[in-house]
Structure 1
Amino acid sequence: MGHFGFSYVGLIFLFMLIVPNLIWAKNQPQDYNFKNENRVLLLFERLGQVLVTFAVLIFSDFNPREWSLWTVWLVAAVFLMLAYEAWWIRYFKSKKTLADFYSSFCGIPVAGATLPVTAFFLLGVYGKVFWLMLSVMILGIGHIGIHLQHRKEIQ
């Protein structure tokens, strides 16, 4: 269920998530419009963001421990977050269109939403923290759902 304590790995993951989004605020895609987002998906997304941020910081179970086969979950989570950073680099080097923003990366659809959600979920698996996994599922329903909605609108 999780052991209370600070997670510096969680903080690093949040940092990897937030920094590109802050840069994106000044580099949004042409014709970006969020006014028609599904209110239910938006509620899931916002609630998930708060819950994930809270859960990833207050459980120390995400910090590395002795190497074991279980560590593969942490390695996979880190790999996905690095892929997320690579996706952002590709976006920032692009023409910054809506198609670029809702693009796939290495075969992963709407990678800007899917990669970090999956990475945080795997971090929850590594830490064996149900609360993070549940929070990520709530976030994923909203965040990935909204991205799929927008991708559908531009096609």
Structure 2
Amino acid sequence: MDFGFSYVGAIFLIMLFAPNLIWTKNKPSDYDEYVKNENRILSVLERVGQILVVCFSLIFTDFNVRFSWQIIILIMAFALMVLYEIYWIRYFKSEKRMRDMYSGFLGIPVAGATLPVLAFLLLGIYGKNIPLIIATLILGIGHIGIHLNHAKECR
């Protein structure tokens, strides 16, 4: 693990945050009702995971491009982030209902939560960076868990 700035981590975070900023003006009308029912443990795991993933993505150069066979893993992680962007485009073009937000995409359940978690997990694997892998698992438990519960409530 090498400390320093990761431009790849920064790109992934921009891809993560850009649609989320747009979403703040395009939330489903009844979103706040669902948030009230969130499991507190999952919420804490989500927040801790978010903070750690952001920090670790930026402070390790392990994620910057290295040409070896492992670049395939980085390409897969980037492809998942591109799918995440496409998921958001689909949501923004929808009626912006809760079921639109928590729908699956290409067979991936709760894609808005699952795709970036898988992408950052692969980024950690690519960089052989245990802190990012652990942080992503913590984030995944909280974030995907919350989204699965919201999706269940929508049904």
1:54 aligned partner: 55
Equivalent position of 2:21 in the other structure: 22
Q: For 1:2-151, what aligned pairs fall within 5 Å after superposition? A: 2-33=1-32, 34-66=35-67, 68-151=68-151
CA offsets, 1:101-133, max 9 Å, x none?
001000000000000000000000000000000
Distance 2:97 2:27 in 1: 8
Deviations 1:21-48 (A, max 9, x none): 0100000012112111000000000000
TM-score by length of 1: 0.97
TM-fit CA distance, 1:154: 1.1
The amino acid across from 2:8 in the alignment is V
User: Which whole-Å CA distance do the structure 1 matches of 2:85 and 2:143 have between them?
Assistant: 17
| Structure 1 residue 65, shift from structure 2 partner | 1.2
| One-letter code aligned to 2:135 | S
Q: How far, CA to CA, are the matches of 1:75 and 1:61 in structure 2?
A: 15
- What is the CA-CA distance between 1:60 and the residue it aligns to? 0.1
Question: In 2, Cα distance between the equivalents of 1:31 and 1:140?
Answer: 24
Q: Distance in 1 between matches of 2:48 and 2:66?
A: 30
Q: Matched residues in 1 for 2:107 and 2:29: separation?
A: 24
Give identity over the alignment, percent.
61
Q: Paired residues, what number?
A: 153
The amino acid across from 1:4 in the alignment is F
Q: Quote the Cα distance in structure 2 between the aligned partners of 1:130 and 1:25.
A: 32
Q: Distance in 2 between matches of 1:62 and 1:92?
A: 30
- Root-mean-square deviation (CA, aligned residues, Å) is 0.6
